[in-house]
Amino acid sequence: MSISSENILLIGSVLLLISILVGKTSYKFGVPTLIFFLGVGMLAGSDGLGIQFDNSAAAQFVGIVSLNFILFSGGLDTNWHSIKPVLAQGITLSTLGVLITAFSLGIFFWWISDFTIYESLLLGSIVSSTDAAAVFSVLRSKSLALKYKLRSTLELESGSNDPMAYVLTIAFLGLVVNPEMSYGSLVLVFFRQMILGGVLGLGFGWISKYSINKINLDFEGLYPVLVIALMFITFSFTDFMGGNGFLAVYLCAVYLGNQELIHKRTILKLYDGIAWLMQIVLFLTLGLLVNPTDMIPYVGLGLAASLFLIFLARPIAVFISLIPFKMKARRRWYISWVGLRGAVPIVFATYPLIAGIDKAHAIFNLVFFISVTSVVLQGTTLTKMADWLRVLLPSSAKPKSVIDSFLNETAKTKLIEVLVEPTNEIVGKKILDLGFPKNASIAMIKRRDQYLTAQGNTVIEQNDQLVVLAEDDDALKDVYNALKTSPDSFEE
């Protein structure tokens, strides 16, 4: 069966439904949901139900679009205060760690196979980064509560290390195609990609915040659409300028996620749903692209490379990268174990296919085998390894529910009320323009006989009664300044 415009919606919706239903029960068996999405795609492919899909360019396009949403959603959900203490560790792992992983695996594979050194390093580069979709999905769906800010470190690393792997992949692909290429030009490409990606990502983050808060749209549902447009502009413009679009998208989202935005809750909810949809679509597409029978000749090499990556290359990279930081060995071992490979390496493996190099199909099948092995072996044992290495929080320390988690993260101890006098200079201003402190919030507004939910674009009117929640006395002082009033105007 071939996919056509007449049956693509039917086939796609049926596969999507099957993936969701199968994924719903996957954790009863301790298997990550994402591996089931891949499995459904493979069963529906040419070696299963017979759906013919061999368009690597289309798969790459689906992969790039999906990764934009997955990285952006992960960035929006990243709390700056939680990653700030582990920022240096995360950046070191996502740069030096990726580099060491790529070279160690590449040299090992060159030693055991008939690949050239550049082809081997290309393979190592493709699988050198941990996969954001896999890590976010497994950690969050398992609700792993880890000690020592390990979860923040792992999510920061997985969200930010794809750009490094992408640069290395493009660099060694260029050397395979043109071995005479100078190393100096590759170094320049690396710095251009990283610097432009970082600068443009933060720059577009600021532009996006200004656009979201200042463009007055008539419908709340249009704000997430606006954010989607800004996300793709960030990626495509950065890529056009020679920067790393994936890095730019992630940094743009991290910046936005830590700012006051109009209808922010609506945007976050929509992106969470779209990120899940994109993960399913991405894994289904990649599952359709691969033919399981094609992998049989590469099982031996693939297993050797996968075991070396999991038990040697990744730990070596983590331990060397984290030398400057004080950290017990068991924490380093756990970071090493959460080196999940997933969809991102498979997407990167489509680049050699499109370039048409000799070992392209071998690389694609090896990468697919390595990614599946990683998700199955490591993804199913994250909780057990955390418990064994004593980095898992005891159950008594975990929030008991979503509500408990919310209250735990945003606990406020001060409840105060203020009347906005007609002469107050905040009259006529939007809440997001008040410079309200992060550790306080306007819970409700009483306006005449109505009770309003405070939104970022809510305009303060005279004689409004504001119900304010604040964490402590220091937060109250900031509230006084933001509302241009004094403590005498408040009632506790």
Q: What is the CATH number of the domain that holds 386?
A: 1.20.1530.20
In a domain, 79, yes or no: yes
Q: What is the pLDDT of residue 254?
A: 92
Statement to judge: residues 208 and 241 lie in one domain: yes
- Domain limit, last residue, from 372, 397, 422: 397
Alpha-carbon distance of 179 to 273, in angstroms, equals: 44
Nearest Cα residue to 157 out of 99, 87, 100, 258: 87
Q: Which domain holds residue 477?
A: 411-491
Q: What is the pLDDT of residue 294?
A: 83
Question: Where does 33-95 have alpha helices with state H?
Answer: 33-44, 56-76, 80-83, 87-92
- DSSP run (H or E) holding 18: helix 8-26
The total number of structural domains in the chain stands at 2
In a domain, 30, yes or no: yes
Strand ranges for 317-421 from DSSP E: 414-419
Statement to judge: residues 372 and 423 lie in one domain: no
The model's pLDDT over 82-127, given as tens digits with 9 standing for 90+, comes to 788 889 999 999 999 999 999 999 999 999 999 999 999 999 999 9
Statement to judge: residues 127 and 46 lie in one domain: yes
14 HSE (CA, 13 A, CB side) = 9
Alpha-carbon distance of 77 to 214, in angstroms, equals: 23
In a domain, 116, yes or no: yes
Using 70 as the pLDDT threshold, list the residues of the chain that sit under it. 1-8, 11-12, 19-20, 22-35, 45-50, 132-134, 136-145, 148, 393-413, 487-492
Tokens describing residue 203: 């720059």
Question: Where does 113-221 have alpha helices with state H?
Answer: 117-126, 132-141, 150-160, 162-177, 183-214
- Domain limit, last residue, from 341, 368, 397: 397
Three-state secondary structure readout of 418-448: EECCCCCCCCCCEHHHCCCCCCEEEEEEEEC
Enumerate the β-bridge partners of residue 326: none
Greatest CA separation for the chain? 80
In a domain, 2, yes or no: no
- Domain limit, last residue, from 397, 419, 451: 397
How many CB atoms are closer than 10 A to CB 2? Answer: 9
In a domain, 272, yes or no: yes
Alpha-carbon distance of 94 to 112, in angstroms, equals: 27
How many CB atoms are closer than 10 A to CB 480? Answer: 17
User: In which residue are the tokens 């370039």 written?
Assistant: 355
Statement to judge: residues 391 and 459 lie in one domain: no
Statement to judge: residues 374 and 425 lie in one domain: no
In a domain, 264, yes or no: yes
Statement to judge: residues 364 and 425 lie in one domain: no
Nearest Cα residue to 126 out of 158, 102, 154: 102
What are the C-alpha distances in Å from 48 to residues 41, 168, 293, 366, 396?
9, 35, 10, 20, 46
Statement to judge: residues 238 and 386 lie in one domain: yes
> What residue type is 132 in one-letter code?
A
Statement to judge: residues 296 and 439 lie in one domain: no
Three-state secondary structure readout of 165-182: HHHHHHHHHHHHHCCCCC
In a domain, 406, yes or no: no
Q: What is the pLDDT of residue 413?
A: 59
Statement to judge: residues 262 and 367 lie in one domain: yes
Alpha-carbon distance of 70 to 47, in angstroms, equals: 29
Statement to judge: residues 383 and 465 lie in one domain: no
Q: What is the pLDDT of residue 403?
A: 39
Q: What is the pLDDT of residue 203?
A: 96
Q: What is the pTM of this model?
A: 0.76
Statement to judge: residues 343 and 434 lie in one domain: no
Q: What is the CATH number of the domain that holds 466?
A: 3.30.70.1450
In a domain, 435, yes or no: yes
Statement to judge: residues 265 and 344 lie in one domain: yes
